[in-house]
Amino acid sequence: MSTGSQQGAGAPSLQQWQDLAAIDVHVHVHRSVKDDAGPVESGEQMGEYFGIGTMHGYTVPELAAYYRERRMAAVVFTVDSISATGDEPVPGNREIAELAAEHPDVLVPFASIDPARGAAGVREARILARDYGVRGFKFHPGVQGFYPDDRSVYPLYEVIEEFGLISLFHTGQTGVGAGSRGGGGVRLKYSHPLAIDDVAADFPDMDIIMAHPSFPWQDEALSIALHKPRVYIDLSGWSPKYFPPQLVQYADTLLKHKVLFGSDFPVITPERWMEAFDQLPLRDSVRPLILRENAARLLRLPGTATASGSPSTP
């Protein structure tokens, strides 16, 4: 696969990232500045699943203010699931990228392309990488209905690798459709992390984040992150008090340089996540790695070494 390293229009600034309390690598944008209310039904279902009532959707400027107030930065994105819903994502990738560019001190834009878009999606990915400054692409295999190692998706990965960007994959259980009739049609088989292993082998120069504790396949995810040097794990979507013990053990030792703070906001607030994270049996030297330093290196922020070849010793 391509080993080029073009840089798009948007190497993130975040010049003062060392002054941040944390970098949240998993934040959803559910509302457009064009006054679209967003998917209300989905907000109610997800809010019920996470026990927070109806889930409130935030615009990009609102997210910037929210995270700036907390002295944090956030990676922000939508999820393009046109193959499942028939609808264009709201807000769209271009809106998110353009608005995030107005807040470079706290926001890093990712994009999302449903692989079902085929060649048109590949062309759009190139435009987003080249002209809109996106730093990665979010995939939700269960919702988008594809196996990550399906060769038909590889042209998308080729663009991502060419521009030196990040692929972020949902793995494991999902709150989307949970408790709904037939799980809302979402099939969990697509989110098995083992498919990521093939992608990492075939695209060795592409950075990959496996999102969430990968229940019920946590051991497989840990094995892949240990074996493939450019595969990372984010801790979003779960309160840390529910993390599998082996995840905590590896985050504190062999994978301390490859585990990332993520909240999955707005379903889990950074405050709720941090409060539970403080109770985990982690060494003091490891906490800043997880909260910001690993993400800063992965995003190639100023003053960091490249993400590849990061140390993995306890």
pLDDT (average), residues 288-311: 84
Over 60: is that where the pLDDT of 312 sits? no
Domain boundaries, the chain: 17-298
Q: 203: which 2 tokens?
A: 């695209």
Q: What is the pTM of this model?
A: 0.89
Q: Which helix (H) or strand (E) holds 162?
A: helix 154-162
**pLDDT of res. 47:** 47
In the chain, the percentage of residues whose pLDDT exceeds 70 is 86
**pLDDT of res. 10:** 47
Confidence category of residue 13, pLDDT binned at 50, 70, 90: low
pLDDT in tens, 75-88: 999 999 999 999 99
In this structure, the chain runs to a length of 314
Over 60: is that where the pLDDT of 36 sits? no
Q: Which residues, at least 6 apart from 179, have a Cβ–Cβ distance to it below 8 Å?
A: 45, 48, 49
pLDDT (average), residues 218-224: 98
Specify whether the CB–CB gap between 5 and 243 falls below 8 A. no
Q: Are strands 136-139 and 259-260 parallel, antiparallel or unpaired?
A: unpaired
pLDDT in tens, 118-172: 999 999 999 999 999 999 999 999 999 999 999 999 999 999 999 999 999 999 9
Buried b / exposed e along 61-88 (16+ C-beta atoms within 10 A):
eebbebbbebebbbbbbbbbbeebeeee
What is the per-residue DSSP string for 92-147?
A: -HHHHHHHHTT-TTTEEE-B---GGGHHHHHHHHHHHHHHS---EEEE-HHHHT--
Report the C-alpha gap between 143 and 145 in whole angstroms: 5
What is residue 77's DSSP assignment? E
| CA 192 to chain CA centroid, nearest Å | 16
Match 């585990």 to its residue by tokens.
259
Q: 2.50.20.10, 3.20.20.140, 3.40.91.10, 3.40.50.300: which CATH number matches 17-298?
A: 3.20.20.140
Short-list 60, 27, 90, CA closest to 262: 27
Report the C-alpha gap between 152 and 146 in whole angstroms: 10
**pLDDT of res. 187:** 86
Confidence category of residue 56, pLDDT binned at 50, 70, 90: confident
Buried b / exposed e along 126-153 (16+ C-beta atoms within 10 A):
bebbbebbbbbbbbbbbbbbbbbbeeeb
Specify whether the CB–CB gap between 114 and 145 falls below 8 A. no
In the chain, the percentage of residues whose pLDDT exceeds 90 is 78
Average pLDDT, the chain: 90
